[in-house]
Structure 1
Amino acid sequence: MSHLTIALDIMGGDHGPHITLPATVNALHIYPDIQFILCGDKQVIENYFSRYDIHADNYRIEHCDQAVEMDDKPSKVLRAKRNSSMYRMLELVRDKKANGCVSAGNTGALMAMSYMVLKTLPGIDRPALISSLPTAQHKKVFLLDLGANVSCDAETLFQFAVMGSVLAAEETDNPNPRVALLNVGSEQIKGNETVRYASKLLSDVPSLNYIGFVEGNDIFNDVTDVVVTDGFVGNIALKSVEGLGKLVVNELKRVSEKNLMTRIMAKIALPLFKKIYNRVNPDQYNGASLIGLRGTVVKSHGNAKSDAFFYAIKEALQEVNRQVPKKIQEKMETVLMERP
């Protein structure tokens, strides 16, 4: 991973520097060959870094006197916050001064700024948010869109499927990932007109391993490698999964502390509980990629902890190394030539 540069929005997210700076310190220690550009309030960053022994060659600070707030409207930030840490981060990628970037900031603002600053790849109308989730057999499934586009037509879903297949292929070393559309049933007559037409478009492209419709309960059963839907449904699905995961963890804690016998049993089962928790821990799946752009942009959860923000940095490095935007462009060119 040498000779790479990653720009970070230090001020973004629900907790800003309190989360992003500890994650940055961790990244600087683990990736000493990576150059980091820290976009944000210079004094805040320097004051925090003064506590640590960090080599000055590993990072530089881009002072920004504005920050995008989590409740800012995208239209507002495009007009009034071009000196923000989020905007500057994207400019660095556009100007080839950074290979990729990471922000935990306002999703709508990041989407709007990315679209304006970086532009979409040829053949792509809208970028999409995509992330991986754990499945059976210790594999991953990639779900998109996760909220960047609350409504989509069939052509947009088609483009999402192409982009998702590329990211899945790169991150799992599977050259022919299975792609499916999320629907209310697996039969071809199910769903609305948009989903059915998107299915027809995907069925006409030989280079995509399109397997048809899947339902919500198929997402984690290793039925497919990529699940495609609009951002409205995708965001609800993701948040429901995260909520269920937290419920399971909290219930395990509550039951294990109920009485002396359950505390003893919990201690015996602790190694198993840790193994299961580490498998489904949402922090390690933090880092939704905003794909379809002319550059690598990774969106961390706004309420992510420092460990989760670090995983988002790691995701950005992996995508930069694998040249995901370039490969999406190449795949789109192939697919467009195959379409009837």
Structure 2
Amino acid sequence: MTDPSWIAVDAMGGDEGLAVMLAGVARARRRHEEMRFLLVGDESAIAAGLKNHPNLSQHSEIVHAPETVEAAEKPTQAIRRAKTTSMGIAIDLVKRGRAAAAVSSGNTGALMAMAKLALRMLPGIDRPALAAPLPTLGDNDVVMLDLGANTECDARNLVQFAIMGAAYARIIFDLERPRVGLLNIGSEDQKGTDEIRDAAHTLRETANGAVGGLPLDFTGFVEGDKLARGDHDVIVCDGFAGNIALKTAEGTARFVADLLKRAFSSSARSKIGFLISRPATELLRDHLDPNNHNGAVFLGLNGVVVKSHGGANELGVATAIGNAAKLVSANLTRRIADDLGAIRQAVA
């Protein structure tokens, strides 16, 4: 049986380098003292870096990997080197039961391809979906999926994403019945593609209907300008729309932050205003900081694989690792499998 305290970390992935990865792992260890780590990558480089983190050294092991996956490398090329790269070996540790989860900041396409090939899909799931929490004005963040793993999806895929997203939201937000909506161009029933309308029909019948039993509340369609209102706990879409929505939200957050910075530095009076409003602006900065929401998970795999943002800092890496540990302890894969069984029974 896999020890849930062990997390495999691709120490060589990420734009910021090994030092930031190790600092993030050490920070995660301080937050979660029960965790232990398999640090995968160049053995000599990791050993040298661990000298700066003596506490981490006592609770980790180094797994040597002679190669790394390049940021621009094609998934088909990366798969051929899975047995020798830090990313591929980290995933293989999950497959072999040495680790309960794998975390990487590397190439997203390669990570998905390797994970899908090595771990396989859960029974009843056709495709993995990339899901992550995004900030809102509500009491909790909103889980959005798919964020780019599948550019085209049919109704069956969208229903599966809804089930997986709800299971994920129940764990990270501690909710009994997450509110699930489908991203669409309008809230009216006749809006959208056939795939979206068919998925909505299935979710209404199996979640809200008398034959249901799924632990979620399907709220219907949601438009793009309502993503951050806090009215939903899960928003489902295909990977094409989801990735555009994610990048737009990240760009808007940077735009607002840069605009405030420019406004507060425009004059002496503005600088005084900044000092007065500093507590509020720092709260806004922390709420929009992607490092506080880092850690997208590939839902639907027979194992936990978390993608950390390539540009994440120490805080972001620690957040992604903590997210992985929480999903392991809550047995995410079993919850998804149970919900899939419920919908199959309801449809039958």
TM-score range for the pair, normalised by the shorter chain length: over 0.9
- Counterpart in the other structure of 1:328: 336
Shift of 1:95: 1.1
Q: Distance in 1 between matches of 2:137 and 2:34?
A: 35
CA contact (8 A) 2:28 2:319 kept: no
Check if 1:154 corresponds to 2:162.
no
Q: Cα distance 1:52–1:174, how it changes in 2: closer, same or farther (>3 A)?
A: closer
- Counterpart in the other structure of 2:228: 220
Structure 2 gaps, min length 5: 207-211
Q: AA paired with 1:306?
A: E
Q: Distance in 2 between matches of 1:48 and 1:179?
A: 43
- Counterpart in the other structure of 2:262: 254
Aligned pairs for 1:1-340 (under 5 A) are: 4-54=5-55, 56-205=57-206, 206=212, 207=214, 208-340=216-348
Q: Distance in 1 between matches of 2:260 and 2:236?
A: 32
Shift of 1:55: 5.3
Spell out, residue by residue over 1:251-287, the C-alpha distance to the aligned partner (whole angstroms, 9 max, x if none). 1111111111111110111011111222222211111
Shift of 1:71: 0.7
Q: Distance in 2 between matches of 1:114 and 1:40?
A: 17
Q: Distance in 1 between matches of 2:187 and 2:42?
A: 51
Partner-residue secondary structure (3-state), 1:38: strand
Q: Cα distance 1:160–1:62, how it changes in 2: closer, same or farther (>3 A)?
A: same
Which shows bigger deviation, 171-180 or 25-34?
Answer: 25-34
Shift of 1:52: 3.3
Q: Distance in 2 between matches of 1:163 and 1:52?
A: 37
CA contact (8 A) 1:64 1:83 kept: yes
Shift of 1:101: 1.3
Spell out, residue by residue over 1:198-235, the C-alpha distance to the aligned partner (whole angstroms, 9 max, x if none). 11221220224212111011111122211000011101
Q: AA paired with 2:141?
A: K
Q: AA paired with 2:315?
A: D
Shift of 1:299: 0.4
CA contact (8 A) 1:139 1:222 kept: yes
Partner-residue secondary structure (3-state), 1:246: helix
Q: Distance in 2 between matches of 1:223 and 1:18?
A: 39
Spell out, residue by residue over 1:103-161, the C-alpha distance to the aligned partner (whole angstroms, 9 max, x if none). 01111101100101111111001111111112223322110000111111111111001
Q: AA paired with 1:16?
A: G
Q: Distance in 1 between matches of 2:310 and 2:243?
A: 14
Q: Cα distance 1:218–1:48, how it changes in 2: closer, same or farther (>3 A)?
A: same
Shift of 1:16: 3.3
Q: Distance in 1 between matches of 2:140 and 2:192?
A: 28
Q: Distance in 2 between matches of 1:56 and 1:280?
A: 33
Spell out, residue by residue over 1:79-107, the C-alpha distance to the aligned partner (whole angstroms, 9 max, x if none). 23421111111111111111111101111
Q: Distance in 2 between matches of 1:303 and 1:281?
A: 12
Q: Distance in 2 between matches of 1:36 and 1:55?
A: 8
Q: Distance in 1 between matches of 2:56 and 2:180?
A: 44
CA contact (8 A) 2:50 2:57 kept: no
Q: Distance in 2 between matches of 1:35 and 1:132?
A: 25
Structure 1 gaps, min length 5: none
TM-score by length of 1: 0.96
Q: Distance in 1 between matches of 2:261 and 2:341?
A: 51
Shift of 1:54: 2.5
Identity over aligned pairs, percent:
38
CA contact (8 A) 2:139 2:230 kept: no
Please tell me the root mean square deviation across aligned C-alpha atoms, in Å.
1.4
Q: Distance in 2 between matches of 1:315 and 1:256?
A: 35
Shift of 1:6: 0.5
Which shows bigger deviation, 85-94 or 23-32?
Answer: 23-32
Q: Distance in 2 between matches of 1:131 and 1:303?
A: 16
Partner-residue secondary structure (3-state), 1:179: strand
Q: Distance in 1 between matches of 2:306 and 2:81?
A: 23
Shift of 1:3: 5.8
Aligned length: 339
